[in-house]
Structure 1
Amino acid sequence: MVRRIPVVALLVGILLVLAAPPAGAHALVRRSDPPDGALLDQAPRRVTITFTEAPDSSVSVVHVLDSSGRDVAAGKAVPQPGNPLTLVIPMGKVGQGVYTVTWRVVSRADGHVTAGSFSFGVGVSPAGAPTPVVAGSSSPSPSPLAAAGRWALYAGLALMLAAGVVGLVAFGGKAPPGRFVVVSWALAVAGLVIMAVAERNAVGASLARFVHSAAGRALIRQGIGLAVAGLAVLFLALRPGRTSLWALAGAAAGAMLLHAEAGHAAASPRYSWLDIGAQWMHLVAVGIWVGGLVWLLVGTRGREGTERAVAVRRFSTLAGIALIAVAVTGLQRAISEVGWPTDWRRLVDTGFGLTLLIKTAVFVALAALGARNRYVNVPRVGSAPGGISALRRTVGAEVLLAAGILAITGVLTQLTPPATLAAAAPRARPPANVVATGSDFATSVRVRLTVTPGSPGPNHFEARVSDYDTGAPVPATGVQLSFALPGRPDLGTPTLDLSKESTGMWAAHGTVLSMDGRWDVSVLVQESSNAVTVPLTLETRLPAERIRTIPGSNGQPTIYEIDLLGGASLQSYVDPGTAGRNTVHFTFFQGGGSEQPIAAAMATALPPTGAMTELHLIRFDAGHFGANVTLSPGAWRFEIHASTQNQTMYSAYFTERIP
Structure 2
Amino acid sequence: MPQRIHLLVAVLAALLILSAQPTITRAHGYIVRAIPEDRAVLDRAPARLQYWFSEALEPAFSGLIVRDQAGNVIAEGGVAANDNTLLTVRLPANLPDGAYINELRPAFASDGHVIVESRVFFVGESVSGVAGAAANDQAVPLEVVWRALVLASTMLLFGVYTLYALVLVPAWGSRDHRAGWLPPRVMTRLNRIVWIALAVAIGGNLLALLQQTMVFFAADVGRVLSDGLWNVVRIGSRFGDTWNVRMALLLLIAGLHFATTQLRRDQPDTVRPFWIATAWLLPLLLGTWSIASHASGSLLWPWLAVFSDWLHGIAAGLWVGGAAALALILPAALRPYSGEDRRLALLAALRRFSRIAVVALALVIATGVYNALNWFGAPAEIATSYGESLGLKLLLIAPLLVIGAGHHIALRPERYARWSALMDRFGVRFGAFVPTLRLEALIGLGVLVLAAHLSATPVPEPELAGQTTPPPQGVQTVGATTVRVTITPGGPGVNTYDTVVMRGDQPATDVTVRLRTANPARDLRGAWHATEALGDGLYVAAGAEIDAEGRWQTLIDVTDASGAQVTRAVFAWEITQDAAVIATRDPNVFNVLALFGALAAVGFAVSPFVRRGYHQLNLDAASVTVAAVAVAATVVIVVVGILAGQEAERSYRETLNPPPQIVNDVLPTQASLARGQDLIVAQCPAWIGANDFITLTRRLDRTRDEALYAAVRDGWRDLGACAPDLRDGQRWDIVNYIRSLEGRSLDGRSLDVDAR
Shared fold (TM-score, shorter chain, > 0.5): yes
Once the two structures are TM-superposed, the CA of residue 387 in structure 1 deviates from its matched residue by: 7.8
Q: Distance in 1 between matches of 2:356 and 2:254?
A: 25
Q: Does 1:403 pair with 2:445?
A: yes
Quickly say closer, same or farther: Cα 1:237–1:425, change in 2 above 3 A.
farther
Q: Do 1:98 and 1:129's aligned partners in 2 also have CA atoms closer than 8 Å?
A: no
Q: Does 1:335 pair with 2:373?
A: yes
* Deviation digits for residues 587-643 of structure 1 (CA, Å, limit 9, x no counterpart): xxxxxxxxxxxxxxxxxxxxxxxxxxxxxxxxxxxxxxxxxxxxxxxxxxxxxxxxx
| 1:601-616 map, 5 Å | none
Matching residue of 2:37: 35
Q: Distance in 2 between matches of 1:405 and 1:25?
A: 24
Please state which structure has a larger fraction of its residues in helix: 2
Q: Distance in 2 between matches of 1:122 and 1:269?
A: 34
Q: Distance in 2 between matches of 1:355 and 1:270?
A: 21
Name the SS for the 2:116 alignment partner.
strand
Q: Which residue of 384, 391, 404 maps to 1:350?
A: 384
Q: Distance in 2 between matches of 1:414 and 1:68?
A: 36
Q: Amino acid of the residue matched to residue 400 of structure 1?
A: L
Q: Do 2:160 and 2:325's aligned partners in 1 also have CA atoms closer than 8 Å?
A: yes
| 1:308-319 map, 5 Å | 308-319=346-357
Matching residue of 2:149: 152
Matching residue of 1:72: 74
* Deviation digits for residues 529-582 of structure 1 (CA, Å, limit 9, x no counterpart): xxxxxxxxxxxxxxxxxxxxxxxxxxxxxxxxxxxxxxxxxxxxxxxxxxxxxx
Q: Distance in 1 between matches of 2:255 and 2:118?
A: 47
User: TM-score if structure 1 supplies the norm length?
Assistant: 0.56
Q: Amino acid of the residue matched to residue 326 of structure 1?
A: V
Q: Which residue of 245, 251, 254 maps to 1:221?
A: 245
Q: Does 1:413 pair with 2:413?
A: no
Q: Do 1:316 and 1:374's aligned partners in 2 also have CA atoms closer than 8 Å?
A: yes
Name the SS for the 1:65 alignment partner.
strand
Higher mean C-alpha deviation, range 196-205 or range 150-159: 196-205
Q: Which residue of 388, 399, 418 maps to 1:365?
A: 399
Matching residue of 2:118: 117
Q: Does 1:272 pair with 2:302?
A: yes
Quickly say closer, same or farther: Cα 1:236–1:322, change in 2 above 3 A.
farther
Name the SS for the 1:111 alignment partner.
coil
Q: Distance in 2 between matches of 1:421 and 1:113?
A: 19
Once the two structures are TM-superposed, the CA of residue 388 in structure 1 deviates from its matched residue by: 7.1
Q: How many residues align?
A: 399
Q: Distance in 1 between matches of 2:435 and 2:414?
A: 14
Quickly say closer, same or farther: Cα 1:43–1:298, change in 2 above 3 A.
closer
Q: Amino acid of the residue matched to residue 231 of structure 1?
A: G
Quickly say closer, same or farther: Cα 1:131–1:109, change in 2 above 3 A.
same
| 1:183-198 map, 5 Å | 183-198=196-211
Q: Amino acid of the residue matched to residue 35 of structure 2?
A: D
* Deviation digits for residues 241-266 of structure 1 (CA, Å, limit 9, x no counterpart): 43122222222211110121011111
* Deviation digits for residues 173-194 of structure 1 (CA, Å, limit 9, x no counterpart): 6455211111011111122122
Name the SS for the 1:101 alignment partner.
strand
Once the two structures are TM-superposed, the CA of residue 401 in structure 1 deviates from its matched residue by: 0.9
Matching residue of 1:390: 432
Once the two structures are TM-superposed, the CA of residue 148 in structure 1 deviates from its matched residue by: 1.1
Once the two structures are TM-superposed, the CA of residue 234 in structure 1 deviates from its matched residue by: 1.9
Matching residue of 1:322: 360
Q: Which residue of 199, 203, 210 maps to 2:233?
A: 210
Q: Do 1:309 and 1:382's aligned partners in 2 also have CA atoms closer than 8 Å?
A: no
Q: Do 1:145 and 1:198's aligned partners in 2 also have CA atoms closer than 8 Å?
A: yes
Q: Distance in 2 between matches of 1:398 and 1:273?
A: 33
Quickly say closer, same or farther: Cα 1:236–1:265, change in 2 above 3 A.
farther
Q: Amino acid of the residue matched to residue 199 of structure 2?
A: A
Q: Amino acid of the residue matched to residue 247 of structure 2?
A: G
Please state which structure has a larger fraction of its residues in strand: 1
Q: Distance in 1 between matches of 2:442 and 2:63?
A: 42
Quickly say closer, same or farther: Cα 1:425–1:389, change in 2 above 3 A.
farther
Q: Distance in 1 between matches of 2:77 and 2:453?
A: 33
Once the two structures are TM-superposed, the CA of residue 208 in structure 1 deviates from its matched residue by: 4.7
Quickly say closer, same or farther: Cα 1:209–1:89, change in 2 above 3 A.
farther
Q: Do 1:377 and 1:391's aligned partners in 2 also have CA atoms closer than 8 Å?
A: no
Q: Do 2:209 and 2:230's aligned partners in 1 also have CA atoms closer than 8 Å?
A: no
Quickly say closer, same or farther: Cα 1:358–1:221, change in 2 above 3 A.
same
Quickly say closer, same or farther: Cα 1:412–1:427, change in 2 above 3 A.
farther
Q: Distance in 1 between matches of 2:199 and 2:117?
A: 38
| 1:110-509 map, 5 Å | 110-125=111-126, 127-128=127-128, 130-132=130-132, 135-136=133-134, 138-172=135-169, 174=182, 175=187, 177-204=190-217, 206-211=229-234, 212-239=236-263, 241-301=271-331, 302-303=333-334, 304=337, 305=341, 306-339=344-377, 343-347=378-382, 349-376=383-410, 379=413, 389-418=431-460, 420-425=461-466
* Deviation digits for residues 5-62 of structure 1 (CA, Å, limit 9, x no counterpart): xxxxxxxxxxxxxxxxxxx982322222122222222222211111121221210121
Q: Distance in 1 between matches of 2:207 and 2:295?
A: 22
Name the SS for the 2:112 alignment partner.
coil
Give ranges in structure 2 of 5+ residues lacking alignment: 1-25, 174-181, 219-228, 265-270, 421-427, 471-756
Q: Distance in 2 between matches of 1:257 and 1:411?
A: 18
* Deviation digits for residues 154-197 of structure 1 (CA, Å, limit 9, x no counterpart): 11111111111111111116455211111011111122122222
Q: Distance in 2 between matches of 1:333 and 1:370?
A: 22
Name the SS for the 1:128 alignment partner.
coil
Name the SS for the 2:446 alignment partner.
helix
Matching residue of 2:21: none
Once the two structures are TM-superposed, the CA of residue 150 in structure 1 deviates from its matched residue by: 0.9
Q: Do 2:62 and 2:105's aligned partners in 1 also have CA atoms closer than 8 Å?
A: yes
Q: Distance in 2 between matches of 1:233 and 1:46?
A: 56
Name the SS for the 1:317 alignment partner.
helix
Q: Distance in 2 between matches of 1:379 and 1:220?
A: 49
Higher mean C-alpha deviation, range 380-389 or range 266-275: 380-389
Quickly say closer, same or farther: Cα 1:50–1:425, change in 2 above 3 A.
closer
Q: Amino acid of the residue matched to residue 111 of structure 1?
A: G
User: TM-score if structure 2 supplies the norm length?
Assistant: 0.49
Quickly say closer, same or farther: Cα 1:33–1:425, change in 2 above 3 A.
closer
Matching residue of 1:531: none
Quickly say closer, same or farther: Cα 1:307–1:395, change in 2 above 3 A.
closer
Once the two structures are TM-superposed, the CA of residue 354 in structure 1 deviates from its matched residue by: 1.4
Q: Distance in 1 between matches of 2:162 and 2:366?
A: 20
Once the two structures are TM-superposed, the CA of residue 421 in structure 1 deviates from its matched residue by: 4.4
Once the two structures are TM-superposed, the CA of residue 139 in structure 1 deviates from its matched residue by: 4.9
Q: Do 2:376 and 2:462's aligned partners in 1 also have CA atoms closer than 8 Å?
A: no
Matching residue of 1:434: none
* Deviation digits for residues 83-124 of structure 1 (CA, Å, limit 9, x no counterpart): 332122111232222111111111012211122121111223
Give ranges in structure 1 of 5+ residues lacking alignment: 1-23, 430-659
Quickly say closer, same or farther: Cα 1:332–1:416, change in 2 above 3 A.
same
Q: Do 1:161 and 1:249's aligned partners in 2 also have CA atoms closer than 8 Å?
A: yes
Q: Distance in 1 between matches of 2:232 and 2:386?
A: 30
Quickly say closer, same or farther: Cα 1:188–1:379, change in 2 above 3 A.
farther
Q: Distance in 2 between matches of 1:216 and 1:366?
A: 35
Q: Do 1:152 and 1:188's aligned partners in 2 also have CA atoms closer than 8 Å?
A: yes
